[in-house]
Structure 1
Amino acid sequence: MEPTPPTPPPQPPEPPRPGAPAAYQAPGPYTSPGMPYTAAPGPYGPHGPYGPPRATTNGLAVGSLVSGIVCCLPPLGLVLGIFSLRQIGKRGQGGKGMAIAGIALSSISTLLVVLGLITGQIQEGVRAFNEGMREAASARMPMELRTGECFVDEAGQGEYTLGVRVVDCDEPHDGEITGRFEATGFDAWPGERELTELGEERCETMATAYVRDTWSLTADSLSLYYTPDRRSWRAGEHRIACGIGGEERLTGSLRSDASTLDAGQLAFLTHVNPVEDALYAEPEDEPEDDLQANLAWAADVRAAVDSARSGLRGRTWEQSARGPVGAYLKSLDAASKQWAKLAAAEDAEAFWDAYDRAWELVPDEASSEARKALGLTHTPPEGPGEHDSV
């Protein structure tokens, strides 16, 4: 098959003769009859196939509205709104409504900020916010606290706590941690009663070791304990936290153990505290009801006094404390004789005859002077005696 010869290129039209009339101007590329667009510079006409371009939204107007809504830096929203109106007018952009709304909201917010600064509400709000952040950061479970840390517990006594707030011990607080221990020996959840009894026993011992200077305690001082509930126990929390506090909030730490006492202070309290413990163990029954229990108590007190006498005399005291400690020892000598007489009473009447004098010889004043010389609390606590003379 022979190849088809190529189509010769079209010949340019002949130029019109001078003076001859021309029905049409020289044709452009798209002026042939039947073409969809006439007199167009491009294939889609003057605006393209989708009509004229849409006007854009002014960015400053958007920023002004956002600043006015969130109330952060309200003057910024006001400035952005004013500038956006100028740009919208010049550029034919959209967003005029947003700019006006942003100016209005920012103006209100700016006015509120000014009023807040004048009245102090802004500063108060900032302080409250910072306080809340500090509280949230310091909220912890009691079992996580270290020995010696003080805390505030908003839960009432006997109520479950969701966490305590750690504070400096110089600030008012509900208690301070005296220690913690693991509740062992249980294969399953032992129950609240069992853990409560364990907490009472062990935490009392920890409180005694933590506060050796017992005169720093008040009449409403309490031994505290925090036990895990059933859910916490099943999650693996078996610790019991111990603390000491009071009915009213405390200020200052009560800690007075080997980590805070010097050698002289620790020696004095080691020998004297058993006397106080024996005095506080006075029976609830009157000697008429249980004479033997009261006689045994008096004998225990006399034994504690004699032990203190021996221990205090066996130590060489600092020069500043020798005189006060010596005077205290003389008071203990007199007390020992009277408590021995009380422990040997033949009946309830003889017991009462010796009772008041025995308490009078408990050397509070002499002990106060010795404590003062050693740098301990020297204000006597409330007397532990419960019996009245007859």
Structure 2
Amino acid sequence: MPYGPYGTPGMPGAAPYGQPRRTTNGLAIGSLVSGIVCCLPPLGLVLGLAALPRIRKRGQAGKGLAIAGIVLSALSCLLLVLGLATGGFGTAWDGFKEGVDEAARSKSPASLRTGECFEDEDKLKEFATDVQVVDCALPHDGEATGRFKITGFSEWPGDDALDEVAEKRCDTINTAYAMDTWAVPADVWTYYYLPSSQTWRRGDRTVICAYATEKEPFKGSVRSDATTLNADQMSYLRSVNPIETTAYAEPEEDPDEDFAANRAWAGDLLKEIDRARAGLKGRHWPAAANGPIAELGTTLDAASKKWAKLASAADAEEYWAEYETAWKLLPAELGADVRTALGLTGTPPESPGGASV
């Protein structure tokens, strides 16, 4: 065993007494690291070539490191040149960027933010674990419209109870998010993501509301609210949208089966017609909309009289006598000219079969 100057065992690499320790050249180390990492191949080559004469002059260690760095850097430079010449480097970089972008877009449905459009690989099945956020101009399965927290339950209430709450709340959120209802495709409906029993136990109470389709993806955002509409557009839609909403709530049973429910519904629709009449007359509209607004007001005046008869019908027979005529005064394209004049969607959405709904 070798011994040092004082009779103690010498450590490997220890220098004789009175001589400086032999150091490793820093440039050689930098050359090797640059060559291995391959991020800056020319730098490793330059550092290695600069290190060799200094190593000889100063008697330093690191010649092997410098040579290795030179070789690796030269190979990296060669691969870089070939990649640029053949386009392979660009393809690899594009693939890398695509992977990073896809990973950034992938998220849990619970983390969707209002206004984000998304693809759902599970096609809106009951248990969705991940969605891909995409530009709304591209085809997508849904668009997040808002969120809310479930309250009033001390323990897991079950899917049916959550469905009941979510359906009502998300209908309200979606109605406020897409006021220009004609801009929403016919096969795009209210949808929501619920907490599961497992996430509920971890404290999750958030419901994500959306407009979504289980059919062909759609393009473009359906958002039309205070962030996108002007005051005239919002005033008009607030006046007429409740007519449309109430009309869709017609009882499933006809008057012969449930006369009371149908007459009550007719009364509700009459109230919305009369509110719209008052709202349209109580505002100064842009000049281009004055004519169409006046025509719509005349139509609603006539509709009010007919629906008043339905709401006061004595029996199902009297109800049926006015029913068809009353509906003719509320066609699907009601107010189309006003919408066009105000810069809103002027054509009702078409059902998959081609008919307006």
Equivalent position to 1:101, from 68, 72, 77? 68
Deviation per residue, 1:157-213 (Å, 9 max, x gap) = 136556666666566655444332221121223334432332222111221222222
Q: Which residue of 2 aligns with 1:191?
A: 158
- Select 2:270's aligned residue among 277, 293, 303: 303
CA distance in 2, matches of 1:277, 1:297: 15
Q: What is the aligned-residue RMSD (CA, Å)?
A: 4.4
- Provide the rounded CA distance (Å) in 2 between the counterparts of 1:384 and 1:96: 76
Query: What do residues 306-361 of structure 1 show as CA deviations (whole Å, max 9, x unaligned)?
Result: 4256324542432332210111223334555666788869669x959974x65554
Match of residue 217, structure 1, among 170, 178, 184: 184
Give the aligned partner of residue 233 of structure 2.
265
Which 10-residue stretch deviates more, 195-204 or 85-94?
85-94
| Residues 1:275 and 2:239 are matched in the alignment | no
Query: How far apart, in 2, do the equivalents of 1:120 and 1:271 lie?
Result: 59
Corresponding position of 1:369? 337
1:72 matched to 2:29? The reply is no
AA partner of residue 202 (structure 1): R
- Say which of 106, 118, 123 aligns to 1:152: 118
What is the DSSP-based 3-state SS (H/G/I as helix, E as strand, rest coil) of the residue aligned with 1:242? strand
Query: How many residues are paired up?
Result: 334
1:274-306: CA deviation from partner (whole Å, max 9, x where unpaired)? 32223323455678x848489648835862574
Kept in 1, the 8 Å contact 2:145–2:210? The answer is yes
Partner of 1:116, secondary structure, is: helix
Q: Is the 2:243–2:273 contact (alpha carbons within 8 Å) kept by the matching residues of 1? A: no
CA pair 85-302 structure 1, distance change in 2 beyond 3 A = closer
TM-score, normalised via structure 2 length: 0.71
Aligned-residue sequence identity (percent) comes to 49
Any stretches of 5+ residues in structure 1 without a counterpart?
Answer: 1-47, 386-390
Distance 1:296 1:155, change over 3 A: same
Contact 1:271–1:307 (CA under 8 A) maintained in structure 2: no
Q: Which protein has the larger Cα radius of gyration, Structure 1 or Structure 2?
A: 1
Q: Distance in 2 between matches of 1:309 and 1:98?
A: 84
Matches within 5 A, 1:1-390: 57-88=24-55, 94-123=61-90, 125-126=92-93, 148-152=114-118, 154-156=120-122, 157-158=124-125, 160=127, 174-247=141-214, 251-258=219-226, 260-284=228-252, 290=257, 292=259, 296=263, 299=266, 303=270, 306-307=273-274, 310-312=277-279, 314-318=281-285, 319-335=287-303, 355=324, 359-365=327-333, 367-382=335-350
Q: Secondary structure at the match of 1:244?
A: strand
Residue aligned with 1:317, SS: coil
Quick one: distance in 2 between partners of 1:284 and 1:315?
Answer: 35
Q: Secondary structure at the match of 1:178?
A: strand
| Residue range with higher mean Cα deviation, 305-314 or 99-108 | 305-314
CA contact (8 A) 1:64 1:78 kept: yes
- Give the aligned partner of residue 12 of structure 2: none
> CA 1:180 to 1:126, structure 2 compared with 1: closer, same or farther past 3 Å?
same
- Worse overlay, 52-61 or 257-266: 52-61
Kindly indicate whether structure 1 or structure 2 has the higher relative contact order, using CA contacts under 8 Å at least 6 residues apart: 2
Q: What TM-score do you get using the length of structure 1 for normalisation? A: 0.66
- Contact between 2:116 and 2:143, CA under 8 Å: does it hold in 1? yes
Alpha carbons of structure 1 residues 371 and 140: separation in structure 2 relative to 1, 3 Å: same
Say whether the 8 Å CA contact 2:187–2:352 is kept in structure 1: no
For 2:161 and 2:269, the matched residues in 1 are separated by 36
Q: 1:384 to 1:110 in 2, by over 3 A?
A: closer
Check conservation: 2:170, 2:191, Cα contact below 8 A.
yes
- Aligned counterparts of 1:378 and 1:240: Cα–Cα separation in 2: 33
Deviation at 1:51, TM superposition (A): 12
Separation (CA, whole Å) in 1 of partners of 2:17 and 2:160: 82
CA contact 1:78–1:103 (8 Å) conserved in 2 = yes
What is the SS of the residue equivalent to 1:224? strand
2:70 aligns to what SS in structure 1? helix
